[in-house]
Structure 1
């Protein structure tokens, strides 16, 4: 079943609505600081952060991960650098690098005591000024959690901020039950499809099994019996389409995305040609 909604039929943003729904259940600061996920709390067995002594090291470090964090410190023994190391040890799955090289700082246009998060999915960079004495390991951890958008990002009160701030205008939401035995295979196919639209569409996972997401299903007029479902939308004008499917396939995701992209391109072309037609 395909359900379309034209732009402007509701007076609020899709993302703003989802964001507010999530925040009514859990604030970003509470969720970022209180996650009990094993992947978020287990210390890494690799020594962190990795020392980046030159530009080549830094470039290889950034290109080698979906999300990479670098601390730029002229003096690596400052209290700010100590807080950076503490945060690095608390986020096992995100690589942290540290550089005190003047050449590296200059290459990335970073001032001293700056932490930069680099992400591949939208080729974006987010900076945090560590010169503020209020910034500690806990706030640095929250900064990373809010901004660590990946090839497929799970939507929650923490990642909601990064999703809203992404430069990508097209977003594809997979609404499914993570507890389903079919979930690993669905995610494999969804992630494979995401590779094809890197830099163009932000792929997002929403777990229908979570009670906090029930109102999101209601927003898209979906019932759990209709899942899994895909929802694609254009963030500037909120135009979106919802598709319920029997099962996820790479080809189905491609067809759905391509059809929507073509539709929005035709709409843009028509809008650009309208003033010319009116003059004629």
Structure 2
């Protein structure tokens, strides 16, 4: 099976899981998130910029030569739309040179896979609120990214080919503790595995669960998938632990599949002594 068609087919499957969902985005302003009501953080020198990016799970920086251009006001408005994204802005020549900026550019940085995506002068000329919002929505991959019809696009555009899904109901009493441990484990596999949360309580996610041949009674569960060859494995868990997630991921990366061991045991013929 060719890798590219397999990748596209799986992306198409995940995307169609959400086609029936009517998306309603209600944006609420708050001063508690990384970006506050005053707008993006002003970056004035290279050390400040480096420190800012190192502290942010996902950061979007506007590198502008002129703050009077129309896109700047659109950029500033993003701060209140994305409370889990850090926003910075700079006109400092030394910072622009450090990040190889030659024209007005909006860059999205993410720690999870050390990626940087740019909207350069030709891209941002005439850009509107909707297009910039969608760019950030699609590409904002966190240590743990919650799966939906928008983030699915960003996940499969990442160069990281292995994805680990936690299939769990967010309404469960164990969720908060589990997601904290899952997020901690995610940082051990930076650049190797993308960690994804699939809320089993969402109706549109039932198809994702069935894709991995899991039943509701087997949840919560871990499901790992490699996009290039569609290799996958699953593990039902009573509770999520960092060690358990780490061992499951290490085994998959080493080519050891739990389901193969299970199948081998089932297929081993009985020998009469």
Deviations 1:41-76 (A, max 9, x none): 324363221111121121111111100110011001
Q: Structure 1 stretches (4+) deviating beyond 6 angstroms? A: none
Which structure 2 segments of 5+ residues have no match? 257-273
Aligned partners of 1:139 and 1:74: how far apart in 2?
21
1:19 maps to which residue?
Answer: 14
Aligned length: 248
Instruction: Describe how 1:129-140 pairs up with structure 2 within 5 A.
Output: 129=120, 131=122, 132-140=124-132
Could you say if the C-alpha distance between residues 16 and 90 of structure 1 is closer, same or farther in structure 2, counting changes exceeding 3 Å? closer
Aligned partners of 1:21 and 1:226: how far apart in 2?
24
Answer yes or no: is 1:195 the counterpart of 2:187.
Answer: yes
- RMSD (CA atoms): 2.1
TM-score by length of 2: 0.84
Deviations 1:151-183 (A, max 9, x none): 111111111111011111221111010111111
Could you say if the C-alpha distance between residues 138 and 20 of structure 1 is closer, same or farther in structure 2, counting changes exceeding 3 Å? closer
TM-score by length of 1: 0.82
1:269 maps to which residue?
Answer: none
Aligned partners of 1:177 and 1:101: how far apart in 2?
46
Aligned partners of 1:192 and 1:95: how far apart in 2?
20
1:275 maps to which residue?
Answer: none
Aligned partners of 1:79 and 1:49: how far apart in 2?
16
What SS class does the counterpart of residue 41 from structure 1 fall into? coil
Aligned partners of 2:78 and 2:102: how far apart in 1?
20
What SS class does the counterpart of residue 153 from structure 1 fall into? strand
Match of 1:72 among 57, 63, 73: 63
2:102 maps to which residue?
Answer: 111
Tell me how far 1:126 sits from its aligned partner.
1.0
2:28 maps to which residue?
Answer: 41
Deviations 1:176-235 (A, max 9, x none): 101111111111221121122122111110001001111111211111111011111222
Could you say if the C-alpha distance between residues 17 and 136 of structure 1 is closer, same or farther in structure 2, counting changes exceeding 3 Å? closer
